[in-house]
Structure 1
Amino acid sequence: MTNSWRALAQMARDRIVATDPEDLPLVLSLWYLRLSSLARLRLTNQTLGEMNNLFSVIGSIQNPLAREYLFDKYMPFELEVMRARSIYWAGDQVPATERNMGYLDALYALVHKCKRRAREVSKRREGRKTEEVMSVNDEKEMWVERGARVCLIIASQLVEMKDYAAATKLLLPLLKSSSQPSPELRSAIAKIYLQSGQVSIASQHFAIVEADPDANENLKDMNASLLAAAEGDWAKVAEALQHILARDPENFAAVNNLSVALLSQGRLKEGIEVLEAALQVSPSSVVVAEPFLFNLSTLYELRSATAADKKRNLLIEVAKWSGDGLKTACLKMPSN
C-alpha cells in the first residue's frame, strides 16, 4: 500500500536466508516476492541476474523426474510467468524481433502446460466420491483460468506488436469454450478490434456486453466511452465516464479518461480540475499511476506559462506518497 518495494525486496531476501531450505513452497514464494519487488523498482539487470541464478540452481538437479516434480508441485505459477517475461525485459541485449518471438514462445509453452494439467486433472475424476470430484473440478477450473490469463498476456504483446488479427484469433476461441463467456473477456476482444479500426465489429461485441444483465455497469459505461471516443463523440464519452464516477468516485481510470475527453472538447481548465480533485482525494493511489501524472503535467503545459511551478509542486506531492519505483520522467521535467 505504501509502495515500499525496496524494503519488501530486502525483507524477502532476509526471509529466504532464514528459511529452512527444505521448505520449498515457502522459499520459492519468497523468491517470487523478491523478484517482483525488484521488477517494480525497475532494477531489470539485478532481477534478470537473480532469476537466472535461481533457475540455474533448479536446472542443475540431476534427476529429471525430481526436477519435473519440483516444477509441477512447488513452483509458483506466477514465478514461471515472470521467467517468461524476463525474455522481454532483456531489452537492448537482444534484437527486438528475436526478443518478442522468444517471449511469445515462452508464454505459449505456459499455455500448453495449463492445458496439459487441466487434462490430467480431468482424468482423476473417474471413480471418485462427490466431494473429491468437486475438489478436482476446482483444480481444473484453476488451470483453465490460468491458461486464459496467459492468453490475455499473449494478446497484449501481439497488440503491442500491432498484430491485431493474431490477437483476436487467439482470444475468440476462449469465448466459444465457455457456456457463459466473461463480459470482461468479450470487452477485451472488442477493444482490440477498436484499436485495429474495426469499429463495427467492436460495437457488436460491446452490444452483447451491454445486453448482459450480469455485466458490471461500470464496464458497460467504460465500453460505451471507448466506442464513442472511436467515433469522435467526446460529449458522449464524458457523459459515460461521469456515470462511472457517480457510482465510483475513486475509479481513477475513468478520471484519467475524462480529463482526456474534456481536453478534446477544449475544456482544458475542467480537465485539470478533475485530475487535481482526484489527487486530493487519494494521493497515495494516484501518484503511482504514471499515465495520470503524465496527463496532468501535459495539461499544465497547455494551460499556462507557469507550468514549471505547477509541475514542481506536483513533484513535491508525488515525493510524499509515491514510495519506490516511480518513473519520474512521467512528470515531464528537465533532468537538471
Structure 2
Amino acid sequence: MTNSWRALARMARDRIVQADPEDVPLLWSLRLSSLARLRLFNQASAEVTNLFGALASIAPPAARTHVLEHLLPFELDVIHARVKYWAADATGYTDALGALLRRCRRRARASRLDVDRQMWVERGARVGLIAASQFIETKDFAAATALLEPLVATDQPEPPGAELRAALGRVYLQAGQLEKAEEHFAAVAADASGALESTKALNAAFLASARGEWDVASEILRELFAQDDSNYAAVNNLAVALLGQGKLKEGIEVLEAALETSPSTLAMAEPFLFNLSTLYELRSSIAADKKRELLIEVAKWSGDGLRTTCLKMST
C-alpha cells in the first residue's frame, strides 16, 4: 500500500532461508515481483535463472515434475517468461508465453474438477492478455486480435468474460477497426450479468473519442466519475477528452483535484502524471515550475519504483 518495494524485497530475501518450505515459493514470488517493480531487471533475471536452475536439478525426475507442476506458483512461471522481455528478446518472450498458454490449455483439458478447470482457463486468459499486450507494444494488432478472438468465442465451454471482450474491443479501437470494436462493445453492453456498468460506460466513452465526439465522451466520463470518485481511469480519460475540446485549464483542474483527493494512489499512476505534465506544457510558459511542484508532491507519496521520466522533466 505504501509502495515500499525495496523493503518488501529485503524482507522476502531474509525470510526465504528461515521460512517453512511450504512458504518459500510465495516468498520467492514476492521477492522477484518487488525487484521487477523496482526495475532492477538484471538482478531479477539473475535470481530467476538461478532459482529455475536449482529446480531443474531436483532428483528424481518424478519429484521435479511434482514440484514444477503442483507446488510452484504460476506467478513464478510468468516471471520466468518475462526474463526474455527484460533481455529485449521479443521473439523469445513470445515463445515463452506461447509455451505457458499451451500448458494452461493442456491442464484445463486434463482437469477433472470444475474448479481446477476454471482456474486453468482463467490463467490461460491472463497469459493471452499478456501476450496480446506484447503484440500491441510492437504494433502487431492483427496478432493481438487473432490471439484474443478465440478466448471470447461463444462456443467455448466457459462463457467469455465481459472484461476480456471489452479488452478485445479496445485493441480493435487502437487498430482503427471501429466496426469490430462496436461489435464487441455491443456484446458487453448486452451482458446483463457479468459486465459492470462502469466498463460499459468506459467502452462508450472510448468509442466516442475514437469518432472525435469529444463532447459526448466527456459527458459520459463526467457522469461516471460523479457516480464513483475512485474511478481514476474515468478522470484520466476525461482530461484527454477535455484536451480534445481545447479545454486545457479545465483538464488541469480535473487532474489536480483528483491528485489532491487521493495522492497515495495517483502518485504511482504514470499515465496520469504524464498527462498532467503534458497539459502543463500546453497550458503555460511556467510548465517547468508546475512540474517541479508536481515532483515534490509525488515524492511524498510515490514510494519506490516510479519512473520520473513520466513527469517529462529535462535532466
TM-score (norm 2): 0.96
1:328 corresponds to:
308
Provide Cα deviations, 1:284-333, integer angstroms capped at 9, x if missing partner.
00000011111111111111122121111111111110000111111111
Paired position in structure 2 for 1:200? 179
Tell me the residue number matched to 1:137.
114
Distance in 2 between the 1:166 and 1:181 partners? Answer: 19
Where in structure 1 do 4 or more consecutive aligned residues deviate above 4 Å?
A: none
Which residue, 135, 141, 148 being the options, matches 2:125?
148
Out of 87, 94, 118, the position equivalent to 1:104 is 94
Q: How many residues end up aligned between the 2 structures? A: 312
CA distance in 2, matches of 1:212, 1:141: 20
Question: Could you tell me which amino acid in structure 1 is paired with residue 94 of structure 2?
Answer: L
Give the counterpart letter for 1:30 in structure 2: L
Q: RMSD of aligned C-alpha atoms?
A: 1.3
Counterpart position of 2:169: 190
1:77 and 2:51 correspond? no
Describe the SS at the equivalent of 1:18.
coil
Q: Distance in 1 between matches of 2:172 and 2:115?
A: 33
CA drift of 1:63 comes to 2.5
Amino acid at match of 1:49: A
- What is the match of residue 157 of structure 1? 134
1:86-108: CA deviation from partner (whole Å, max 9, x where unpaired): 110113xxxxxxx1121111111
- Report the secondary structure of 1:288's partner residue: coil
Which of these residues, 280, 285, 309, is aligned with residue 289 of structure 2?
Answer: 309
Check conservation: 1:287, 1:322, Cα contact below 8 A: yes
Deviation at 1:120, TM superposition (A): 2.3
Report which stretch shifted further, 140-149 or 275-284: 140-149
Equivalent runs, 1:144-293 vs 2, <5 Å: 144-176=121-153, 177-178=156-157, 180-214=159-193, 215-293=195-273
Gaps of 5+ in 1: 92-98, 123-135
Distance 1:174 1:156 in 2: 15
Query: What secondary structure does 1:181 align onto?
Result: coil
2:52 pairs with 1:55: yes
In the TM superposition, residue 69 of structure 1 has moved relative to its aligned partner by 1.1
- 1:19 counterpart residue number: 19
Where structure 2 has 5 or more consecutive residues not aligned to the other structure, the ranges are none
Deviation of the 1:178 alpha carbon:
4.5
**Which letter does structure 1 place at the counterpart of 2:48?**
M
Cα distance per residue 1:45-94 (max 9 Å; x no partner): 11111111111111222432221111011100001001101110113xxx
TM-score with structure 1 length normalisation?
Answer: 0.90
Which residue pairs with 2:6 in the alignment?
6
User: Does 2:300 match 1:300?
Assistant: no
Q: Which of residues 36, 43, 46 in structure 2 aligns to 1:46?
A: 43
**Which range is displaced more, 7-16 or 234-243?**
234-243
Taking the aligned partners of 1:18 and 1:205, their CA distance within structure 2 comes to: 50
Q: What percentage of residue pairs aligned between the two structures are identical?
A: 60
Does the Cα contact within 8 Å between 1:221 and 1:243 map onto a contact in 2?
A: no
